[in-house]
Amino acid sequence: MVHSVKTKSSAAFLLLVVATGAVFLGALVLTFFVAPTERMMGIVQKIFYFHVPSAIVMGVLFLVCAVASLAYLLKNDSRLDAIGATAAELAVVFGAIALITGPLWARKAWGAWWTWEPRLTLTLLSVFIYAGYLAMRAYGGEKEFSRRVAAGLGLMGAPAYYFIKVAVDKWGGNHPKNVVYGKGEGLMNPDMRLAFFAGLIAVLMLTVTLFVMRYRTRMLKERVDTAISEMQKYDLLEDG
Amino acid sequence: MNQHIQHFWVVFRKDIRIELRTREILLTMGLFALLLVVVFSFAFYTDAERSRIYAPGILWTTVVFSGTIGLNRLFERENENGCLSGVLLTPISPRMVFVAKAMGNLLFTLLMEILTVPLLVMFFSLDIQPVGIFLSGLLLGTVGFCFVGTLFAAMLSAARMKEVLVPLVVYPIIVPIIIGGVKVTAVVLNDYPVEEALNWLKLIAGFDLLFVSLAIWLFEPMIAP
C-alpha cells in the first residue's frame, strides 16, 4: 500500500529545525559559560550535559523501536516499519555518542578509559542489538522478509534490554555505586541543573527533528521504489 | 494436542534421521568443539589452581561458538530447493515446525556438550561440586541459546551473510545466559556459596521462560505476514 507523504518541507518542520538550533545554542552557552566548572573533574565534567541526555534518548528510542516492531508484525503496515527502523537507526547514533563520551568521562573520573560499569556495558550491548537490527535489514535478503525478521529482533530487544540490565547489574557488583550514581546527585548547583535540563531538551528536540527527517526520507524512498517496480511491471523503464 | 505431538514427531524424526545418515551437524560441531578445547588449553592452561578461574569462560565460549556452527548448518536441508516452504506448506502448524527444529538443535547441542565437558574437565583437571547445579545451569543455558538461535537461523537460512548475521544478532540477546552460565560454573568449580548459583539459575530460567515463548510466538509472524 502506498501512503501519501508530503514532499515539500512544511513550515512546521522548518520551525522545528530553527527552534532546535536555537535551543541547542542556548544549551551550549549554558554549559560552557553559565554552569561553573566542576572542581574535581574540570572541563571534562561538561560531557555530562550531553552524555546523559544521549543515553536517555537512546533508551526511549529502543522502546519506540520495540513497540513499532510489535505493531508492524501484527499490522504489516510499512509506516510502522519505517518508525521502527528510524528509531533503531537513531538509537545506534545516540548510543554511539554515549559510548564515545562515556570513556572520556571515565578516564578522568576513574582513571581508566573503559570500566565494565553496568550502565556502560548495558549501553554497549543494546547498541549491538540494534546494530544487528540494521545489519539484518541491509543484508537479510529479500526486502519485505528482512523487515519482518528485523522487527522480530526489535521486539526481542526490549525484554533482552531488561534481562541484560539485571545480569550486568548483578555481575558488575564490584564497582562502588556511590561513585557511579553519585554523578546524578552531584548536580546540586542550580546553574548546573539548568544546563543539564537545557541539554536534555536540546538533545530531545534534535532527536525529534532527525526522526521526522529520516522517517520522511524512508517513506519517500518507499514511494519511489513502488513507482519503479510498477513501471517495470508495465515495461515503461528504459534500460540502465 | 495429540495431533500436535504427532506433527512434532514427524519433523523431529526427520531431522534425527537425516542427521543419523549424514552426521553433518554433529561431526562439524563436535570436531570444532574439540579443536576449540585444545586451542584453549594451549592458550590458558598453566596449573589446576588457575584453570578454575578460566574454565567457566572457556566452557561457555566453547558451547556458544560450537553451537553457532550447528546453527549455521541447521537449516541447510530446508534451504536447498526451497524445502522450508515445502515444510511450511504441510498441514503442520509453523509453530510446531519451529519447536521440532529447535528441539532437534537442542539435542545436537547437548550431544556436543556431552563430548566437550568431560574433555574440559580432564584437560583442565577440574573438580565440579555439586554436579546437579552445574548440569542445570548448562541445560537451562543451552535451552535459551538453542531456541533464540534456531529462530534467527531459520529466518536467515537463505541470507547470503548468515554466517555473520546469526551470531551478530544472537550473541547480544543471550548475554544474560552467558554471564549467568559463567557465574554458575564459577560457583561449582570454586566452592563459592550455593545461594549465589541459585540466584543466577533463577535469572537464566526466567530468561528461558520469556524467550522460549517469545521465539515460538514470533516464528509465525516473522516468517510470513
Per residue in A93-118, pLDDT tens?
Answer: 999 999 999 888 888 777 788 877 78
- Average pLDDT score over residue span B152-179: 90
Q: Which residues of A touch B (CB under 8 A)?
A: 73-74, 76, 125-126, 128-129, 131-133, 135-136, 139-141, 144, 146, 148-149, 151-153, 155-157, 159-160, 163-164, 166-168, 170-171
Exposed/middle/buried for residue A66 (C-beta within 10 Å: 0-12, 13-18, 19+): buried
DSSP state of A10: P
pLDDT given at position A181: 45
pLDDT given at position A187: 61
Report d(CA B202, CA B196) in Å as an integer.
10
B53-76 tens-digit pLDDT: 889 999 999 999 999 999 988 888
pLDDT given at position A103: 86
A42-89 tens-digit pLDDT: 778 888 889 989 999 999 999 999 999 999 999 889 899 999 999 999
Q: H-helix or E-strand containing A65?
A: helix A48-75
Report chain B's mean pLDDT, rounded to a whole number: 91
- Chain B residues near residue A73 by CB distance under 8 angstroms: 218, 221-222
- Average pLDDT score over residue span A10-29: 91
- Average pLDDT score over residue span B129-150: 94
Q: Is the pLDDT of residue B215 over 90?
A: yes
Do the domain assignments include residue A163?
yes
pLDDT given at position A186: 56
- Tell if the CB–CB gap between B152 and A167 is shorter than 8 Å: no
- Chain B residues near residue A166 by CB distance under 8 angstroms: 176, 203
Report chain A's mean pLDDT, rounded to a whole number: 85
Select from B173, B218, B222 the Cβ nearest to the Cβ of A160.
B173
Select from A76, A135, A170 the Cβ nearest to the Cβ of B165.
A135
CB pairs under 8 A between A and B: 96
Please tell me which residue of chain A has the smallest CA distance to B225.
A76
- Tell if the CB–CB gap between B223 and A74 is shorter than 8 Å: no
Do the domain assignments include residue A187?
yes
Do the domain assignments include residue A22?
no
Which residues have CB under 8 Å from A92's CB, separation 6+?
A127, A130, A131, A134
Q: Is the pLDDT of residue A20 over 70?
A: yes
pLDDT given at position B209: 96
- Tell if the CB–CB gap between B152 and A73 is shorter than 8 Å: no
Q: CA of B160, closest CA in chain A: separation in Å?
A: 7
Q: Mean pLDDT lowest for which of A189-198, A201-210, B2-11, B19-28?
A: A189-198
Q: CA of B166, closest CA in chain A: separation in Å?
A: 9
- Tell if the CB–CB gap between A163 and B199 is shorter than 8 Å: no
Query: Is residue B180 within 8 angstroms of chain A, CB to CB?
Result: yes
Q: What are the CA-CA distances from residue B124 to residues A74, B62, B75, B112 (Å)?
A: 50, 14, 34, 18
Do the domain assignments include residue A84?
yes
- Average pLDDT score over residue span B22-34: 92
Do the domain assignments include residue A146?
yes
Report d(CA A230, CA B82) in Å as an integer.
27
Instruction: Report how far Cα A175 is from the mean position of its chain's Cα atoms.
Output: 27
* Of A92 and B3, the one with more pLDDT: A92
A46 forms beta bridges with none
Q: Is the pLDDT of residue A240 over 60?
A: no
Please tell me which residue of chain A has the smallest CA distance to B168.
A132
Q: Is the pLDDT of residue B17 over 50?
A: yes
Query: What is the domain range of residue A110?
Result: 40-219
Do the domain assignments include residue A157?
yes
SS3 (DSSP) at A42: strand
Percent of chain A at pLDDT exceeding 70: 88
Alpha helices in chain B (DSSP H): 2-22, 24-44, 48-74, 76-79, 83-89, 94-123, 131-155, 162-173, 175-190, 194-223
Q: CA of B215, closest CA in chain A: separation in Å?
A: 9
Q: Is the pLDDT of residue A239 over 70?
A: no
A168-189 tens-digit pLDDT: 888 765 444 444 444 445 566 7
Nearest to A183 by CA among A49, A56, A10, A66: A49
- Chain A residues near residue B171 by CB distance under 8 angstroms: 128
pLDDT given at position B113: 95
Q: Mean pLDDT lowest for which of A191-195, B54-58, B147-151, B183-187?
A: A191-195
Report d(CA A207, CA A57) in Å as an integer.
8
8 A C-beta contact, residue B183 and residue B197: yes
8 A C-beta contact, residue A141 and residue B160: yes
- Tell if the CB–CB gap between A126 and B155 is shorter than 8 Å: no
Query: How many domains does chain A contain in total?
Result: 1
- Chain B residues near residue A160 by CB distance under 8 angstroms: 172-173, 175-176, 211
pLDDT given at position B64: 96
